[in-house]
């Protein structure tokens, strides 16, 4: 059988492309070397973030991708576990950043909260950790380790997408893809979404984008007593790191203060994100270390720095850490994604920043429009 489209990679970027093509009635096959998605897409917070994404196409595609997550959630059996974001600020320099953000086009729908209002969303916030807060209603949070397989199942069952697991593709010579076992898959068009695997397919073309990798440390924290976070939580460190805030001129004094007073967190690329799972546990992170081949070892000192900020912001005595893991994602300086076009029928799509869960469904539609023409 010959497919209209073969997608290499069953992470969220590959699935986003498969969905966009299947919605157009294309006959799609998704191929992955693993038995199920096991890369960045199942290791992240599942935090589909709009507010804080870099101005321009990232923010626009994040809004579209968030809408697609919501559109498919019920049919795919995916629970939306949290909505919105409370960014709790305690440093005086954060106020100017929040005000500037609210005054920008990206602030639409977002509001400034008093400490009391922030505590109404997140009762376990430490009052001393909030002098003001930014509230965004735009985010949704899913449990990625469940949601990504559910998207794949939804694509198979509702859209007739075929999946070939345990299949490494070693060459793309459209309309043929060649597997490591010599098997051939035929497809008129091919989209390669390899995450941070830069060497299996089109290595020279990918290398031209100056790619490296980012390593992140993550934890699952269990509160000793039941708590409910009605929104994801971030802190001042997020204002210094997420480009939608950090690129505002008003962020310069804040970044200087963070560099001076929270140097260890800044040097380890740490900002605080806390999301909540269905069982009440909290997914907490993260750090950012860049290398061509990051080491696979989780540093206790780095976890400690993340937890210091967690404890500075949230009052959860007796909390414990029940899981720790490392993830890596593709990174490239000065760009958050790229689409390369080896030929008319082939695309390589890589998200080179920590926002693939938030943008993949939007990017998928963009690539499919480019391949088949806009509707
Ligand atoms: C710890 C962590 C936290 C994050 N937090 C967030 C967040 O809160 N919000 C957000 O939006 N983003 C977040 N991200 C980023 C996001 O997870 C990534 O941008 C996204 O998952 C990348 O998806 P992908 O499909 O490109 O890559 P992957 O999920 O890595 O998938 C690539 C797939 O391609 C397959 N593959 C590669 N080459 C071949 C080949 N030759 N043959 C067959 N199969 C192949 C691999 O097996 C893999 O399954 C985070 C990432 C990490 C690691």
What confidence tens digit (pLDDT) does each residue in 327-337 have?
A: 999 999 999 99
CB 193 within 8 A of CB 8: yes
For every residue of 119-178, DSSP letters joined together read: HHH-TTB-GGG-SEEEEEEEEEE--HHHHHHHHHHHHHHHH--EEE-S--EEEEETTEEE
Backbone angles phi, psi at 300, to 5 degrees: -65, -35
- Nearest in space to 14 (alpha carbons), one of 332, 34, 2: 34
Mean pLDDT for 164-178 is: 97
**58 Cβ closer than 6 Å to some ligand 1 atom:** no
pLDDT tens, 84-133?
Answer: 999 999 999 999 999 999 999 999 999 999 999 999 999 999 999 999 99
Give the residue whose CA is nearest to atom 35 of ligand 1. Answer: 9
Q: Which residues contact 238 (CB under 8 A, 6 or more apart)?
A: 52, 87, 245, 271, 272, 273
Global model pTM greater than 0.95: yes
Mean pLDDT for 3-11 is: 98
pLDDT tens, 350-375?
Answer: 999 999 999 999 999 999 999 999 88
Residue 148 pLDDT exceeds 90: yes
pLDDT tens, 202-249?
Answer: 999 999 999 999 999 999 999 999 999 999 999 999 999 999 999 999
Quickly state the pLDDT bin for 14 (edges 50, 70, 90). very high
Mean pLDDT for 183-193 is: 98
pLDDT tens, 252-288?
Answer: 999 999 999 999 999 999 999 999 999 999 999 999 9
CA angle, corner 257, sides to 324 and 213, nearest 5? 40
Rg (CA), the chain: 21
Give the residue whose CA is nearest to atom 21 of ligand 1. Answer: 41
In the chain, where does DSSP find H-type helix? 12-23, 40-43, 57-76, 93-103, 115-121, 144-159, 203-207, 236-239, 243-246, 252-261, 263-267, 300-313, 356-372
Average pLDDT of the chain to the nearest whole number: 97
The pLDDT of residue 1 is 77
**269 Cβ closer than 6 Å to some ligand 1 atom:** no
Q: How many angstroms is it from 11 CA to the middle of ligand 1?
A: 5
Mean pLDDT for 75-92 is: 98
First to last CA, the chain: 27
Alpha carbon distance 195, 8 (integer Å): 10
Q: How many angstroms is it from 323 CA to the middle of ligand 1?
A: 20
The pLDDT of residue 375 is 81
Q: List C-alpha distances in Å: 298 to 48, 111, 275, 287, 353.
A: 25, 37, 21, 10, 20
pLDDT tens, 21-31?
Answer: 999 999 999 99
**327 Cβ closer than 6 Å to some ligand 1 atom:** yes
The pLDDT of residue 374 is 87
Q: How many angstroms is it from 261 CA to the middle of ligand 1?
A: 33
């Amino acid at each position: 059988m010959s497919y209209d489209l073969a997608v290499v990679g069953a992470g969220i970027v590959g699935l986003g492309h498969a969905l966009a093509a299947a919605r157009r009635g294309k006959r799609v096959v998704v191929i992955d070397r693993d038995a199920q998605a096991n890369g960045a897409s199942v290791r992240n917070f599942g935090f589909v973030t709009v507010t804080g994404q870099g101005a321009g196409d990232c923010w626009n595609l994040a809004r579209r991708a968030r809408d697609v997550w919501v559109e498919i959630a019920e049919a795919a059996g995916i629970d939306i576990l949290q909505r919105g974001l409370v960014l709790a600020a305690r440093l005086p320099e954060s106020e100017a950043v929040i005000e500037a953000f609210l005054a920008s086009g990206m602030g639409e729908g977002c509001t400034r909260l008093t400490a009391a209002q922030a505590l109404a969303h997140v009762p376990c916030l430490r009052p001393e950790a909030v002098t003001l807060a930014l509230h965004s209603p735009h985010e949704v949070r899913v449990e990625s380790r469940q949601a990504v397989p559910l998207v794949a199942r939804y694509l198979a069952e509702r859209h007739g997408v075929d999946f070939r697991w345990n299949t490494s593709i070693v060459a793309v010579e459209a309309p043929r893809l060649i597997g490591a076992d010599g098997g051939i898959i035929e497809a008129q068009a091919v989209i390669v979404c390899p995450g941070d695997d830069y060497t299996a397919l089109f290595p020279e073309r990918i290398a031209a984008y100056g790619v490296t990798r980012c390593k992140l440390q993550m934890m699952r924290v269990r509160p000793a007593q039941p708590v409910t976070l009605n929104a994801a939580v971030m802190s001042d460190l997020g204002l210094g790191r997420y480009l939608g805030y950090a690129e505002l001129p008003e962020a310069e004094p804040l970044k200087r203060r963070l560099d001076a007073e929270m140097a260890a967190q800044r040097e380890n690329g740490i900002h605080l994100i806390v999301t909540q799972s269905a069982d009440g546990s909290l997914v907490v992170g993260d750090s950012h270390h860049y290398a061509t081949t990051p080491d696979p070892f989780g540093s206790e000192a780095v976890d400690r720095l993340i937890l210091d900020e967690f404890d500075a912001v949230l009052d959860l005595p007796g909390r414990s850490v029940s899981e720790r893991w490392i993830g890596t994602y593709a990174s490239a300086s000065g760009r958050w994604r790229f689409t390369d076009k080896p030929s008319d029928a082939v695309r390589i799509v890589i998200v080179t920043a920590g926002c693939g869960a938030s943008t993949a469904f939007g990017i998928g539609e963009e690539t499919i429009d480019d391949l088949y023409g806009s509707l």
